[in-house]
């Protein structure tokens, strides 16, 4: 999960770098767009990702697939996942599909995941698919962990540049063109 969030942070940093360089130049663009292909390439750079959890599980996330759902203003992400229990060496494989929106929080100049929904959580445990309460619990924990998660906090100097340009609000929208960061008109 943290790797996925870090990948989104890279996307946001790329947008902010573009915007802030424009602030220093000819003016602030009202809208910046990253296409689905741009997003896919930025996220892929972070995978595969391996993490140890609770010193017991080695978890690996791989093969991210990013899709845009502009009709719902959402980003859909699918990942392969595997976990090796370190004591027994047993391996669990599965997949995770989730969708979410992004929002700008002006109080701390952060970009956050919003309305995270797990669409599919599959694990194959000893040849049997995890189902019922176990799958629902995994999906619920993932949603709670990621909802309102800060994926990027604008640096103080960048925040100051936006303030000097009179920008204190931004909307993030998923369109057929890509993820668009739309800035409010300067005051």
Q: What tokens were used for 104?
A: 């700008």
What is the structure's pLDDT at 129?
A: 67
DSSP annotation string for 66-81: EEEEGGGTEEEEEEEE
Q: Is the pLDDT of residue 96 over 80?
A: yes
Placement of tokens 């929002």 in the chain: 103
145-172 as b/e: b if 16+ CB within 10 A: ebeebebbbbeeebbebbeebebeebeb
Mean pLDDT for 135-140 is 74
What is the structure's pLDDT at 9?
A: 47
Tell which wins on pLDDT, 150 or 21: 150
Q: Which domains does the chain have, with CATH numbers?
A: 2-183 (3.15.10)
Mean pLDDT for 106-128 is 80
pLDDT in tens, 50-64: 877 778 778 787 898
Out of 2-6, 70-74, 111-115, 147-151, the most confident range is 70-74
* Band of pLDDT at residue 23, cut at 50, 70 and 90: very low
* Band of pLDDT at residue 176, cut at 50, 70 and 90: very high
The C-alpha atoms of residue 58 and residue 161 are separated, in whole angstroms, by: 42
Q: Classify residue 24 as exposed, middle or buried by CB count within 10 Å of its CB (0-12, 13-18, 19+).
A: exposed
- The answer to whether residues 129 and 123 touch, using CB atoms and an 8 Å cutoff, is yes
pLDDT in tens, 13-22: 444 444 444 4
What is the structure's pLDDT at 20?
A: 40
End-to-end Cα, the chain, rounded Å: 37
What is the structure's pLDDT at 56?
A: 79
Q: Average pLDDT over the chain, rounded to whole?
A: 75
């Amino acid at each position: 999960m943290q790797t996925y969030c870090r990948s989104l942070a890279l996307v946001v940093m790329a947008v902010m770098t573009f915007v802030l360089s424009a602030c220093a130049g000819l003016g602030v663009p009202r809208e910046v767009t990253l296409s689905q292909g741009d997003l896919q390439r930025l996220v892929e750079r972070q995978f595969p990702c391996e993490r140890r959890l609770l010193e017991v599980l080695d978890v690996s996330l791989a093969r991210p697939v990013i899709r845009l759902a502009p009709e719902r203003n959402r980003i859909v992400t699918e990942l392969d996942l595997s976990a090796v229990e370190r004591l027994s060496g047993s391996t669990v494989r599965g997949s995770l599909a989730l969708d979410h929106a992004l929002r700008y929080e002006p109080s701390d100049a952060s970009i956050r995941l919003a309305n995270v929904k797990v669409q599919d959580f599959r694990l194959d445990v000893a040849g049997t698919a995890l189902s019922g309460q176990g799958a629902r619990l995994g999906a619920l924990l993932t949603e709670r962990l990621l909802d309102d998660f800060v994926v990027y906090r604008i640096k103080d100097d960048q925040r100051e540049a936006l303030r000097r340009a009179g920008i204190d609000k931004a909307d993030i929208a998923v369109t057929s063109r890509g993820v668009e960061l739309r800035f409010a008109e300067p005051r």
